[in-house]
Structure 1
Amino acid sequence: MTASQRRDLMEIVDDRYGRKATIVTSQLPVEKWYDIIGDPTFADAILDRLVHHAHRIALDGPSMRKNSRPEILADTNEAAQ
């Protein structure tokens, strides 16, 4: 993240903290967010606010995209004809 993006994310998270629900989805584990955010001080502040009252849902298992992809491609091909 750039410095500007970090500040923007911090502002959003801080404004919502304790007042409004915030849903965050990611394919990265929380431990890797420090690398993405880039600045340890901002990462600590952002993650403290996000995970303090969080309900974390970790999904595990095979990708559902693999199962539905042939159907999606078939529907797309039929629509194009």
Structure 2
Amino acid sequence: MEVIEYRHGRGSTLIASQLPTEHRQDYIGSATLADAILDRLLHGAHRLNLKGESLRKAKAQNAESVDPS
């Protein structure tokens, strides 16, 4: 919370996560703290939800098909 509070309104903050937002309170551990953090983060935010297979998974499959060992 201290980091988010310090950054709020001062500059850009990039957050990348694989955690679904609907479970944010469970991960943070406090509904009040989760709401306070997200209020600051989501105000004026640009949110990108990516879909599809993992590129890491695709690269691993390609490596297996190229390497016969």
Both proteins in one fold, TM over 0.5: yes
Gaps of 5+ in 1: 1-9, 76-81
Gaps of 5+ in 2: none
Deviation per residue, 1:3-47 (Å, 9 max, x gap): xxxxxxx11001101111100010012121111011111111001
Give secondary structure in 2 for the equivalent of 1:20: coil
Higher helix content, 1 or 2: 1
CA RMSD of superposed structures (Å): 2.0
1:33 is aligned to 2:53: no
1:19 is aligned to 2:33: no
For residues 28 and 57 of structure 2, what CA distance do their matches in structure 1 show?
A: 30
Superposition pairs of residues 38-77 of structure 1, within 5 angstroms = 38-70=29-61, 71=63
How many pairs are equivalent? 66
- TM-score, normalisation: structure 2: 0.81
Amino acid at match of 2:14: I
- TM-score, normalisation: structure 1: 0.71
